[in-house]
Structure 1
Amino acid sequence: MTRPVAHRGLSAADVAARIARGEVNDVPVRSSRSTADIVRANVFTRFNAIIGVLFLIVLVVGPLQDGLFGFVIIANTAIGIVQELRAKKTLDSLAVIGETRPTVRRDGTAAPVATREIVLGDLIELGPGDKCVVDGEVAEADGLEIDESLLTGEADPVAKQPGDAVMSGSFVVAGGGAYTATKVGREAYAAQLAEEASRFTLVHSELRTGISLILKYVTWMMLPAAIGLVVGQLLVQGHDWREAVRRMVAGIVPMVPEGLVLLTSVAFAIGVVRLGRRKCLVQELPAIEGLARVDVVCLDKTGTLTEGGMDVSELRVLPDARTDETYVRQVLGALGEADPRPNASLRAIIDAYPDGTGWRCTQALPFSSARKYSGAALNSPDTGSATWLLGAPDVLLPAGHGALRETEQLNAQGLRVLLLARTERELGDPRVAEDVTPAALVVLEQRLRADAAETLRYFAEQDVAAKVISGDNAVSVGAVAGQLGLPGAQAPVDARRLPAERQGMAEELDRGTVFGRVTPRQKRDMVGALQSRGHTVAMTGDGVNDVLALKDADIGVSMGSGSEATRAVAQIVLLDNSFASLPSVVAEGRRVIGNITRVATLFLTKTAYSVLLAILVVCTRVPYPFLPRHLTLLSTLTIGVPAFFLALAPNKERARPHFVRRVMRYAVPAGLIAGAATFVTYLLARAHYGGEGALQAQTSAATLTLFLISLWVLAIIARPYTWWRVGLVLAMAAGFLLVLVTPFLQHFCALRLVGTVLPWTAVAVAAVAATALELTWRWVGRRFPA
């Protein structure tokens, strides 16, 4: 059966003329930030500015070794830029693979083109799941129904006829057709929204929001601390202004957890690169973090647990058919020919029964997930005209019909069953599916994904509840899930019996695992019901019926072969269509969150003891115990270097909420213990040492205590121990020991331990503080269990 082409579209000359006039859909497709944006974001930050100013001050007033922290910032910024550029390269290459290519008709020939190559007046073809990429006017409509909910919020699909307007950002839910582009580029209705939504972003995550909150408080603490330190060193201690400024800088610099922001960006960027190698396109970077927090994942059976393709395993002609199997085969073939964009079920029927030639389709009703059936008015040269429906038996047949019992038996084996039925009503009649005459059952065999069972086991081990939500028959879906070993699959739920109100639906969803005959609107309602119970919900899908649920879920995951609409609203696209990639995404998110929580504790412990030391110095009117070089050395060995390795290490710990609270509940008491112990050693050293060189000896003793305590904090954070974590802690200890025994490094870092009494006293104070740290760690663990 062939369909005449009513519109030929633009000619090659028309297209060339429009390109020359600039009438092209030139909205840039941006999967990532530009190189200039990446450099700007990593260089021009609040804390780079603060550290940069302090670095310049030290260059004026003191020796170069007191300005080492400035070079660390330069190195860290360079690392951040390099890692984000790597992530950008990965994202851009993946975006090209997964880029949408709408079908455009030119000179009577339809061919896919890049979205940016569409010109004003182009004729763009539409089918189920296609997204309208520019504004336009319908030129052809064959049962065309468009969902505009992403723009208007109205979930009901809108039937479109020739002459009706089409808005970019909407998508086709049923039927097909073509529309003429009337607005392209930035003039299109949703162009700005689409451009903004497609950008690579590092914002809007609990992790980064929490870090920003911490940094805001640190900023406010720095100014009074700086004033107090300068005044104290100048007026009370009588230092010259250069020494006073050096000591002030030494007190202020460690308050700034500048590396924490860098490591968060680097961890996310490396996560993107790692996932890119697995063909996972992360369209919104916080999705890595979000999926790690997920505790419920909603799966659509088709395309997720099963492969997209199906095979017809059997055709059962029913007694009521009053016809033979040969005729039924021809009807099925004609129905397949009548649909220009068949779904997976219809493609299997077309492959099995290519006998529809010679029939004429006078009217078609495309398949809709809400209706659960499709239809066509067919005219046969032998038997005349008749109207046929193909769809779900339990939707087309009344309860208790004999064919339903047969269907249930087949569904229980995990088979999908469609009913071919004849109707005496017109396709446009709302009651077309009533009082039909059943003709045959088409039995379809679904292909299970080889990796689905293992993936479901992974989610079970990680305490992530899997809910199978499908538009297919509940018994059939339950049988498929049961074959994959999903707990609870033996009690599938028919979604038509679910309560409409949210609380009742949420209770049923918590109890059940497999849900069948779910409408697109119900999928959306189910996501909302689960979220109302405090769940973080991920939704996977590949069909147009999944779009609304994908949009409302905390994390939407689409298959690369899915409809254009699903890929547009999903935060993560699995380009290789492998459901088995999801554990990698979850694991990557957990690695990022768990490790950043670890290293944040290191950074904020330093902030806490730096603030306490500044307060104690101002209140007791003693010289500040450290120079910038001392704290640069300590930060490098106990925070900077180990934090980089810890931030990128494997971590399967489940992500938990309240990032700031969880970090501060240990970092603050640990910082207070470290600061108090260091100040005690400093006061003891001031009483013990006198004469020339006393200040350096006092500082060295305090530095030893602070290093040992900071190393113990690192040892606690590095748990549970592995060989490389133990090696990392020991390497940092060896680095500090190397500084103490090497004359050049001693002089460069202004460290010299004098005698044996105070060095061993410093070790003893650190041991007492380490005991307090252990008790605090255990108390926090009991008081705030994971």
Structure 2
Amino acid sequence: MLISEHWHARTIKEVEEHLHTSLTKGLTRKEAADRLEEKGANSMPAPERDGLFMKLLNQFKSPITFVLVLAVIATSSLAHYTDALVISAALLLNIVMGLVQEGRASKAFEALKKGEAQYAVVFRGGEPLKISANELVVGDVVVLSAGNAIPADMRLIEVHGLTINESALSGEWLAVEKNTEKAGEESPLVERSGMAYAGTLVASGAGRGVVVAIGGDTEIGRIAVELGKKDESVTPLMKDIRQVAKLILIAVAFIMVGIFALGTARGLPFDETLFTAIALAVASVPEGLPAAVTVVLALGMERILKSGGLVRNLLAAETLGTTSIILTDKTGTLTEGRMTLESYVSLNEVHDNADKGEARTLLTAAVLASNAYVEERPEAEGDEKLVVHGRPIEQAIVLAGLKTGISQQACLSAYPRLDELHFDSARRFGGMLVQNEKNPVAYITGAPEFLLGSMSLVVGANGDAETLTDSMRTHFLRSLETAARDGKRVIGVARVEKDLKAFPPEKELLGYLGAGALVGFLIFSDVIREEAKSAIKDMQDAGARVLMLTGDNPETALAIAKIVGIAEEGERAYTGAELSVLTDAELLEVLTTHTVFSRVAPAEKLRIANVLRDAGEVVAMTGDGVNDAPALRAAAIGVAVGSGTDVAKEASDLVLLDNGFSVITSAIREGRRLRENFKKIFAYMLSTNFSEVILIGFALVVGLPLPILPTQVLWSNLIEGGFMNFAFAFEPLYPSAMKRSPKDPEIARVLSPKLIKLIVLVGSVTATILIGIYLFLLSLELPLDEIQTLMFVAVSVNCIFMAFSMKSLGTPLWRLPLFSNRFLLVSLIGSVAFLFGALYIPFLQVLVHVTEPSMLQLAILFGFGLINLATIEIAKWIFFIREPKESRILTA
């Protein structure tokens, strides 16, 4: 095992020798310059990305684009330049929409760079020097102080009450106390007290560290490498679109072979055969699908934004609707991520405020013991005028004091500080020595069980010390046990009155503390978000399981999980260490039967997301730290809270702008709405295309002229059908859709077997009516261009009216409110207007190859459109609506 793999497990001396540096003087300027030239700057590795050319090239892999390209080439070769121009316009539209959808616009690398520290103070040749963080090299000795962002991974060599907030990496938001001791080689990150990691923040105290890793070799750098890999994942909607495109390409191939075989057998001219093939190919392709998908997704994103969520990836909006498992962090998602002083345990009772008596004495003592400080910001407004800095528990104490009228500034004015004892995890207590009216008094905060076991005196109701009896200890212990069971955090408060102007040496501290008196205990909680419980219930009702993955301890995690409804009574919490020894199969079994996982390291989160994904689950993961970024990227849907790190936000698909957990529920609801509306779009477009293929195919088989030209098919599909397509984006969500499991085939797949049946049914009914109209027109012996014009009108009218039948796939049209989607009526007007424009505006007549029909002819064809609509509704009733509600494609 190389030393560079376990810096946390090496002594300071070993690190100094291995890195060829001086812990007192640092590197010389020449040594630093040589190392910078050899190893490069302290910056993150760049991610893999496709350039614009590759993205453009990828668009031609689409079968829809491929068919249209062939159509353009074929029509151009036949000198049908107008047709080629119209098809080219459709091709360009598909390419542009494809580019909009292309991949994930990953900016995680920029966020990582933005999150890096900008400057650092180092020792070069024994002299302090302020340099850019990018110029740090391995072996540099860096000075750390409160508020500093850690610029590189370091082995600590000197600490003075140093605490570091490592929530960005570990997920645990309480600041970690640091020392210079080595840890075990297999120690998890949260237990490496002798290390400071890039991307974390000094909460309090000061110290020095020697740089052991920079750039991509740091903990955060490894995450950058993972984020930089190209995302090859495929969303459910992409799978469905690819399936449709593949089927269309196969169908077009068979059609082309069949047409040329039939043309050869009949001795038809090549150009006539090719033009017929083009017409059938164009009729087979849902040209408006890419545009419809992009517009509908964009509108869905806009609706999610209004509910407080920013969707960064178009396709993610739809994928939300199929979410089957949500992996949620505790801090910042289920809770607000801030410590609140909840109650006060004194000798005689438990208080919920510190307005008077023993509780006020207890809070005053805690304020005097606190090392947190208040910063005034005159330019700010409201609560932001006063900002408290320090350890989260001490921040909560000072804030509680401010709210109760116990100002830290006033306390320190009355009782000046004489000395400070930094909290130490080995010693288990710390405090402040202040001067009161007569003698110095030390106010101590520390581990509750330790203080309770170390003291023989307690502060009574009158403020004087008295003997701490067994019954008093029992009273305190019961409160501590209740707090632990409920997932609360507790600290003890004590005072020591001795005529000393400074704290005694370390070896005498226990004896010094033993002469003091216990004042009481403070109970803290991380505030649970008000909406968390109801939001989780809504997700569970929608068939999504919610699992908690946190860096916190098992007791606290389980208590919070029970409160919000994730875990049930009797359930246990698994730790990351327990999960790490399981095989993937064993891990999947545990994930299936349990819901709470604590002390979970970043690598374990990523593994869990991958195991669930490989098991066929559609995974959404919430998080806010750098540690969450790889799993956010691996999950089908990454959800970052707005107060989280930029890294988490940029690796995610959905950002909760106001941190409200209910936004996830709203987003899932919108995802379901998008999926249901995509079903309508697929059913509408494919049934329209299917009817056109049957119509043209029939004419070809029986040897009749083309009933409709390629440009007319394009106009009908893109213009008339396009208006109606986009209106589906505004269809409301029916309540039953949020009560069905995401694994229900009708939810999990946009193109479900029942929907395919409906497409074939509707397409066949429409084609039968169109063929009847065509044969009738031929019997009138009208000119071919007039027949093709009237068939163009018939196909367009059917496109317009058929949209109303697709408004609900499981409910009769006459039972639906007419104005539930006013945009459908607006689209009706727009479609009819463009149809009349094509028929009566001269340059459009030339473009679409139509003649001017009479108003009587139009009225008759619109009548046939209504007959077709009624026929489709009857067919829907016979084949689908009579089924039980729970098994229908969609119910109102």
State the TM-score, normalized to the length of structure 2.
0.63
Change (3 A) 1:286 1:756: closer
Alignment of 1:160-179 (within 5 A): 160=192
Determine if contact 2:237/2:319 at 8 Å carries over to the other structure: no
Name the counterpart of 1:780: 880
For 1:389, give the aligned amino acid: A
Change (3 A) 1:580 1:393: farther
Matches of 1:699 and 1:418, distance apart in 2: 83
Aligned-partner SS, 2:707: coil
Matches of 2:346 and 2:422, distance apart in 1: 23
Alignment of 1:34-113 (within 5 A): 38-42=55-59, 45-67=62-84, 68-78=86-96, 81=99, 99-102=114-117, 105-107=120-122
Determine if contact 2:562/2:568 at 8 Å carries over to the other structure: no
For 1:658, give the aligned amino acid: R
Determine if contact 1:539/1:557 at 8 Å carries over to the other structure: yes
Change (3 A) 1:635 1:572: closer
Name the counterpart of 1:512: none
Name the counterpart of 1:444: 524
Partner residue of 1:364 out of 411, 421, 425 = 425
Alignment of 1:716-735 (within 5 A): 716-718=805-807, 721-735=820-834
For 2:392, give the aligned amino acid: A
Matches of 1:178 and 1:282, distance apart in 2: 40
Aligned-partner SS, 1:308: strand
Is 1:749 matched up with 2:829? Answer: no
Matches of 1:467 and 1:393, distance apart in 2: 36
Is 1:700 matched up with 2:789? Answer: yes
Aligned-partner SS, 1:312: strand
Matches of 2:143 and 2:63, distance apart in 1: 50
Is 1:599 matched up with 2:681? Answer: yes
Partner residue of 2:40 out of 9, 23, 44 = 23
Is 1:257 matched up with 2:346? Answer: no
Partner residue of 1:633 out of 707, 711, 715 = 715
For 1:624, give the aligned amino acid: L
Matches of 1:133 and 1:463, distance apart in 2: 44
Is 1:292 matched up with 2:374? Answer: no
For 2:336, give the aligned amino acid: E
Change (3 A) 1:80 1:590: same
Change (3 A) 1:716 1:189: same
Matches of 1:657 and 1:617, distance apart in 2: 38
Name the counterpart of 1:369: none
Is 1:713 matched up with 2:802? Answer: yes
The farther-off stretch of 554-563 and 378-387 is: 378-387
Matches of 1:177 and 1:58, distance apart in 2: 74
Change (3 A) 1:639 1:546: same
For 2:724, give the aligned amino acid: P
The CA deviation at 1:631 is: 0.4
Change (3 A) 1:545 1:191: closer
Determine if contact 2:493/2:521 at 8 Å carries over to the other structure: no
The CA deviation at 1:54 is: 1.6
Matches of 1:303 and 1:544, distance apart in 2: 13
Is 1:389 matched up with 2:447? Answer: yes
Matches of 2:620 and 2:729, distance apart in 1: 25
Determine if contact 1:316/1:441 at 8 Å carries over to the other structure: yes
Q: How many aligned residue pairs are there?
A: 730
Matches of 2:853 and 2:264, distance apart in 1: 28
Is 1:680 matched up with 2:800? Answer: no
Aligned-partner SS, 2:721: helix
The farther-off stretch of 757-766 and 285-294 is: 757-766
Matches of 1:593 and 1:146, distance apart in 2: 36
Matches of 1:146 and 1:376, distance apart in 2: 23
The CA deviation at 1:31 is: 11
The CA deviation at 1:103 is: 7.6
CA-to-aligned-CA distance 1:721-768 (integer Å, 9 cap, x gap): 422212212331343244345566445433348899997886676555
Aligned-partner SS, 1:675: helix
Determine if contact 2:801/2:866 at 8 Å carries over to the other structure: no
Matches of 2:869 and 2:295, distance apart in 1: 31
Matches of 1:286 and 1:268, distance apart in 2: 7
For 1:180, give the aligned amino acid: V
The CA deviation at 1:661 is: 1.4
Change (3 A) 1:217 1:111: farther
The CA deviation at 1:540 is: 3.7
Name the counterpart of 1:770: 869
Aligned-partner SS, 2:425: strand
Matches of 1:582 and 1:191, distance apart in 2: 29
Name the counterpart of 1:430: none
For 1:77, give the aligned amino acid: I
Change (3 A) 1:18 1:34: farther
The CA deviation at 1:442 is: 0.5
Structure 2: stretches of 5+ with no match in the other structure: 1-21, 172-185, 350-357, 374-387, 402-407, 435-439, 455-469, 495-505, 508-516, 579-585, 809-815
Matches of 1:125 and 1:262, distance apart in 2: 56
Is 1:622 matched up with 2:704? Answer: yes
Structure 1: stretches of 5+ with no match in the other structure: 366-373, 428-436, 510-514
Aligned-partner SS, 2:447: strand
The CA deviation at 1:219 is: 1.2
Change (3 A) 1:606 1:190: farther
Determine if contact 2:320/2:637 at 8 Å carries over to the other structure: yes
Matches of 1:784 and 1:587, distance apart in 2: 19
Matches of 2:190 and 2:109, distance apart in 1: 33
Name the counterpart of 2:239: 209
Is 1:420 matched up with 2:511? Answer: no
RMSD after superposition = 6.3
The CA deviation at 1:262 is: 4.3
The CA deviation at 1:364 is: 2.5
CA-to-aligned-CA distance 1:15-42 (integer Å, 9 cap, x gap): 7877777812454666987655555545
Q: Rg: which structure is higher? A: 2
Change (3 A) 1:757 1:585: closer
Name the counterpart of 1:370: none
Aligned-partner SS, 2:323: coil
Change (3 A) 1:362 1:785: closer
Matches of 1:283 and 1:124, distance apart in 2: 38
Determine if contact 2:304/2:666 at 8 Å carries over to the other structure: yes
Change (3 A) 1:492 1:193: closer
Aligned-partner SS, 2:698: helix
For 2:447, give the aligned amino acid: L
The farther-off stretch of 617-626 and 242-251 is: 617-626
For 2:829, give the aligned amino acid: L
Determine if contact 2:330/2:557 at 8 Å carries over to the other structure: no
Is 1:661 matched up with 2:752? Answer: yes
Matches of 2:840 and 2:555, distance apart in 1: 74
Alignment of 1:187-586 (within 5 A): 194-195=224-225, 197=227, 203-233=233-263, 236=266, 238=268, 240-265=269-294, 267-268=296-297, 286-294=315-323, 302-304=331-333, 306-312=335-341, 314-318=343-347, 344-349=392-397, 358-361=419-422, 363-364=424-425, 375-376=428-429, 388-389=446-447, 402-403=475-476, 405-406=478-479, 416-420=488-492, 440-444=520-524, 493=569, 495-496=571-572, 520=600, 538-542=620-624, 555-562=637-644, 571-574=653-656, 576-579=658-661, 581-582=663-664, 585-586=667-668
The CA deviation at 1:52 is: 2.1
Matches of 2:542 and 2:444, distance apart in 1: 54
Matches of 1:188 and 1:497, distance apart in 2: 30
The CA deviation at 1:213 is: 1.7
The farther-off stretch of 676-685 and 753-762 is: 753-762
The CA deviation at 1:565 is: 8.2
